[in-house]
Amino acid sequence: MSMTLAIFGIVASITAVFSALSRRGRRWLVRDFTHYKTIIIAWITGNLVLIAAACLHLLSQEQSEIGAVVAIMMAISLLIFCLTMLALQRRPQNNTRPRRFLAVGAHPDDVELACGATIAKLVDAGHDVRIVVMSQGESGGHAPRRIQEARRGAGYLGAQSHTVWSFCDTRLSENSNLMVAAIEEEIAAFEPDVVLTHSATDIHQDHEAVHRAVMRAGRRLPSILCFESPSVGNDFSPSFFVDVENYTNVKVEAIKLHADQRNKPYMTRARIESMANFRGNQVKQQRAEGFEVMRLVSTTVGDF
Ligand SMILES: [Zn+2]
């Protein structure tokens, strides 16, 4: 009986550990818990205490009890993990005053790189976010994989929906009228309160083309903000900042989902964190994402 319990306990505990420490498990912890590291530390500490207690017990008792001791140990280990998760506050979910945010990027990873932390924060505050990508990124990678990664990235951040259009990568400006029509279609369907897109200062020709297309398509919209892609020029000058101290890890994990682009120098955790620290320092916060304001209606300001 004790051996059966021991085997059950071992299997359950090992499953829990591998689930939590696997790439997918860790991603879930990072996305759903502000203090996810505390969960792991508490769990490891609890287990070390348990192992020590079990060893002391076995040294002073019959060795035949080993099965029961291991079973109890594993059960308590699982309990520590679950209680720590319950005790820690999940990321705040607030469904008051929902707004619709439309983020438009040129390539599959642009929105995550530029404002992934802000998107996740908006979703957790109860807002609707839609991500639109204008090209499949076929010039810089494997298009089918990039489409899939865009879907995963949007899903991980919590966007309610996303679309990937198939305008020709690196030559978006050649289809500016068609792009305007496509963005107008997205705007008509989603009716966003705020649109987030590339900056006019961006030196990537596709990013600049998307900026111009959004400004034309969104000419009747009240609020348009421009995000900071890695390719913005020195003229990029944010005047609106979102505090993302607890969301930089979420952004890092979302960017990792774009494995097709993982060798690009701007995809690293160090680069993402240093940019968040730099923008945070500008507004006396730990970490922030900066936006240029094309125009912004006051009723949306508090929603960030
Ligand atoms: Zn891009």
Q: Which of 56, 87, 118 is the last residue of a domain?
A: 87
Same domain, 76 and 207: no
Same domain, 14 and 44: yes
Same domain, 53 and 193: no
Q: Band the pLDDT of 2: cuts 50, 70, 90.
A: low
Share above pLDDT 90 across residues of the chain, in percent, rounded to a whole number: 65
pLDDT on residue 29: 79
Q: Distance, CA 263 to ligand 1 centroid (Å)?
A: 15
Same domain, 272 and 207: yes
Average pLDDT over residues 292-300: 91
Q: Distance, CA 51 to ligand 1 centroid (Å)?
A: 50
| pLDDT tens track for 130-157 | 999 999 999 989 999 999 999 999 999 9
In a domain, residue 93? The reply is no
Number of domain units in the chain: 2
Q: Distance, CA 195 to ligand 1 centroid (Å)?
A: 17
Q: Distance, CA 271 to ligand 1 centroid (Å)?
A: 16
Q: Distance, CA 47 to ligand 1 centroid (Å)?
A: 45
Residue 257 one-letter amino acid: L
Q: Distance, CA 172 to ligand 1 centroid (Å)?
A: 11
Q: Distance, CA 125 to ligand 1 centroid (Å)?
A: 27
Q: Which of 63, 87, 111 is the last residue of a domain?
A: 87
Q: Distance, CA 106 to ligand 1 centroid (Å)?
A: 5
Same domain, 148 and 284: yes
Q: Distance, CA 222 to ligand 1 centroid (Å)?
A: 25
Q: 58 pLDDT exceeds 80?
A: no
Q: Distance, CA 202 to ligand 1 centroid (Å)?
A: 10
Tokens of 43: 């769990």
Same domain, 65 and 122: no
Task: Please state, in angstroms and rounded to a whole number, the distance separating the CA atoms of residues 20 and 30.
Answer: 11
Same domain, 65 and 110: no
Q: Distance, CA 49 to ligand 1 centroid (Å)?
A: 49
Q: Which residues pair with 135 in a beta bridge?
A: 167
Q: Distance, CA 63 to ligand 1 centroid (Å)?
A: 63
Same domain, 82 and 104: no
In a domain, residue 173? The reply is yes
pLDDT on residue 35: 75
Task: Please state, in angstroms and rounded to a whole number, the distance separating the CA atoms of residues 164 and 25.
Answer: 27
Q: Distance, CA 207 to ligand 1 centroid (Å)?
A: 6
In a domain, residue 94? The reply is no
- Identify the domain containing residue 6 by its residue range: 2-87
Q: Distance, CA 80 to ligand 1 centroid (Å)?
A: 44
Mean pLDDT estimate for the chain: 88
Using alpha carbons, select from 187, 197, 279, 203 the residue that is nearest to residue 242: 279
Same domain, 83 and 104: no
DSSP, res 55: H
Same domain, 161 and 278: yes
Task: Please state, in angstroms and rounded to a whole number, the distance separating the CA atoms of residues 271 and 116.
Answer: 14
Write the DSSP string, 76-124: HHHHHHHHHHHHSPBPP---SS--EEEEEESSTTHHHHHHHHHHHHHHH
Same domain, 82 and 107: no
In a domain, residue 111? The reply is yes
Task: Please state, in angstroms and rounded to a whole number, the distance separating the CA atoms of residues 287 and 68.
Answer: 49
With contact defined as beta carbons under 8 Å apart, do 104 and 195 qualify? Answer: yes
Task: Please state, in angstroms and rounded to a whole number, the distance separating the CA atoms of residues 289 and 242.
Answer: 5
In a domain, residue 92? The reply is no
What CATH number is attached to the domain comprising 144? 3.40.50.10320
Q: Distance, CA 131 to ligand 1 centroid (Å)?
A: 14
In a domain, residue 273? The reply is yes
Q: 41 pLDDT exceeds 90?
A: no
Average pLDDT over residues 210-220: 98
Q: Which of 28, 62, 87 is the last residue of a domain?
A: 87
